[in-house]
Amino acid sequence: MNEFIAIDESSFEKNVLKSEIPLLLEFGAPWCRPCKSLEPILSRLEQEWDGRMRVARLNVDECVNLTMRFQVISVPTTILFVGGEEKARFTGLQKPDRIREQIAPYL
C-alpha cells in the first residue's frame, strides 16, 4: 500500500490548496473502521492513476478546524481538490467504480 501524504493544519495550504495535481483528501480517524476499509481502495486507485492524482489523509481528531471548515460531519469523507478548489465529495465507504466515476472528469 502507498503511504498517503499526512495532512495537518500547518501543511494543508501547501499540500492541498497549492497542489499542482488533483488531490483526493480523506477525512478520517484511526478508530474509524470504514476509513480503514477505504484506504486500501484509495491506495490501489492512486497507483492506477499513476501520478495524475495524489491521495492524502487528514485525522479529524487532530484537525478540528479543517474538519469544521469543510463541514465534515461523518467519516470517512473524501474531498477532491483541483487547483485549490473542492470539485467532488463523497461520504462513507465507496466502491472503486463509484470513486473512479466521480474523479475521472478531473484527471
32 is catalytic: yes
63 is catalytic: no
Contact 63, 72 (CB under 8 A): no
Give the active site residue among 32, 38, 60, 75: 32
Q: What's the chain look like in SS3?
A: CCCCEEECCCCHHHHHHCCCCCEEEEEECCCCHHHHHHHHHHHHHHHHHCCCCEEEEEECCCCHHHHHHCCCCCCCEEEEEECCEEEEEEECCCCHHHHHHHHHHHC
Give the active site residue among 24, 35, 42, 58: 35
List the catalytic residues: 32, 35
